[in-house]
Amino acid sequence: MSALQRLRQIALAVILTWGWKRAVIAMAAGALSVLALAPFNLFPVLFITFPVLVWLIDGSGGRYGGVPAAALTGYWFGLGYFVPGLYWIGYAFFVEADIFAWLTPFAVLGLPAYLSIFTAIGFALARLLWTKNATRVLALAASLTIAEWLRGHALTGFPWNAFGYALSEPLPLAQTASLIGLWGMTFLTVAIFASPATLIDRTPDRSIAWRAPAAAIALLIVMSIFGAIRLSLHPTTMVSGAKLRLMQPNLQQDAKFNYAAKAEVMKKYLALSDRASGPQSTGVRDATILIWPESAFPFFLTREADAMAQIAELLPKGTVLITGSVRAPDLPRGTPITRAYNSIYVIDHDGSVLAVYDKLHLVPFGEFLPYQELMEKLGFEQLTRVRGGFIAGSVRHALPIAGAPSALPLICYEAIFPGEVAGRNERPGWIVNLTNDGWFGISTGPYQHLEQARMRAIELGLPLVRSANTGISAVIDPVGRTVASLGLGIEGILDANLPAALPPTVYAQLGDVPAAMLVALGVILAVRRRVAKRHP
């Protein structure tokens, strides 16, 4: 028996499977697909799992043209994909285990159960466009891209682990993101890796069945060549005179939210920031920009005069501090403070605040609750336990930095939203991403977060400087090369020069327009094939 005959046997078995066995196959395909993401980056596994999706939809029969059956299959695939891909969310509920541990199963299973609705929508839409030839691969690519876009926008959005991140490694493949962004990469990922499904198609000319896989391999080669050329044309260059020092304290979460630990926290930050990094190092005096992570203090920084004085004493003239901190709203004197902003401060060597950015995109259930007042009356509270929830900022703006280009601020998971940083009128010189992944322990979560933040650098042609409480802190150039990094769960400092930005990329100028064109093309070809079949 030839390899092609064996493949057809396997495909037929998948197509004819029904009931619980079908659900198991779909969930197994989803779980294996997670291996394509960081920290594993085994993207060839999708050549196995994505053809299975095509065959499962091929076998979706029953009422209403098989659309409900396809949707249910998509739901099981999503559940298999999101549970192992997002298991690390459960770690956050053990930071204050006595209060939140009981919610762990609801988070670890509940969020994937919600996100799987979008893969179900993608499969249902694909079934509506389904054909019996290779265009069904494009129908699946277009439909899942639409579904993933919806997942990234509905109810504030959560595009974590979008399929397009499977092509973020190796680095030459990721360069295509500078043209078409994450959603375009999602379309290509599905189309490329689902293409071997057409090998089972019965055609008068056997060579026709090989056209889709051959085109997919050719596209991967073209992407690799484009990426290699782009990398070679843009070696890492540095901004003259801009020297970075990133402080990674590896502070435990119970200290970060404990006001009684104020003195201990400040002592650690100050000592670590001025630590010599080598025989020739003079500590913080080597840097022009010192960077501390997200919500670094268990207090309102600018309301603690002694803390501001200590920062002023630490910073030599010509050095600024970029730090995360909760910020109290501007209220009349004596008014109780019940809510706060999650902010970034730029502080000068004399302790004066030069610029402030308030986080726009807050984390549901982490920084606020849907229907906040009602949920609090029922006894619920978000993980940060800020009564009333954090206050969202009003506008994203670049931060002016003395001695360096202006910086685009992104706090925590704001870095996973490509639409929030593309197509901007003002062109910053770099991205500064302050985060606290200490909620998620030593898990795959921080690696996934870094991979997604790095994609923003490639998309926009801007260097990324990422300071994380427990890691992974990194300096990444505008084509995605890691200039310097500090690993997960390590206390230390990271010294590096600031990479220079590239001219605006195609994606930086056009945003999601190229991706929308790819999706439209996939839909048009699928519809055209269906119409031609009905009216030969």
Task: Tell me the C-alpha distance between 97 and 118, whole Å.
Answer: 31
**Dihedral in degrees, nearest 10, Cα atoms 403, 405, 410, 416:** -140
Q: The tokens 């590896």 sit on which residue?
A: 250
Contact 47, 213 (CB under 8 A): no
End-to-end CA distance of the chain: 36
**Distances in whole angstroms, Cα of residue 286 to Cα of each of 159, 169, 252, 497, 499:** 38, 34, 28, 11, 17
Task: Tell me the C-alpha distance between 153 and 139, whole Å.
Answer: 21
Phi, psi of 145 (to 5 degrees): -65, -40
- For the question of residue 420 being annotated catalytic, the response is no
Q: The tokens 């670590």 sit on which residue?
A: 272
Contact 153, 180 (CB under 8 A): no
Q: Look at residues 184, 174, 176 and name the one whose alpha carbon lies nearest to residue 145.
A: 184
Largest CA distance in the chain: 83
**Distances in whole angstroms, Cα of residue 510 to Cα of each of 69, 215, 325, 475:** 37, 26, 34, 26
Say which residues have a Cβ less than 8 Å from residue 385's Cβ, sequence separation at least 6. Answer: 96, 257
- For the question of residue 268 being annotated catalytic, the response is no
**What are the tokens at 457?**
């650098």
Q: Find the catalytic residue in 243, 367, 412, 459.
A: 412
Task: Tell me the C-alpha distance between 406 and 296, whole Å.
Answer: 22
Relative orientation angle of helices 104-128 and 46-58, to the nearest 10 degrees: 60
Q: Is 532 exposed, middle or buried (0-12, 13-18, 19+ CB in 10 A)?
A: exposed
According to DSSP, the β-strands at 473-476 and 464-468 are antiparallel
- For the question of residue 148 being annotated catalytic, the response is no
**What are the tokens at 11?**
């495909």
Residue type, 238: M
Q: Find the catalytic residue in 148, 294, 367, 414.
A: 294
Q: Find the catalytic residue in 359, 367, 414, 451.
A: 359
Contact 448, 37 (CB under 8 A): yes
Contact 351, 308 (CB under 8 A): yes
Task: Tell me the C-alpha distance between 256 and 265, whole Å.
Answer: 8
Q: Is 482 exposed, middle or buried (0-12, 13-18, 19+ CB in 10 A)?
A: middle
Phi, psi of 463 (to 5 degrees): -65, 150
Task: Tell me the C-alpha distance between 116 and 191, whole Å.
Answer: 20
**Distances in whole angstroms, Cα of residue 366 to Cα of each of 98, 128, 229, 299, 385:** 17, 37, 42, 18, 8
What radius of gyration, in Å, describes the C-alpha atoms of the chain? 25
Residue numbers annotated as active site: 294, 359, 412
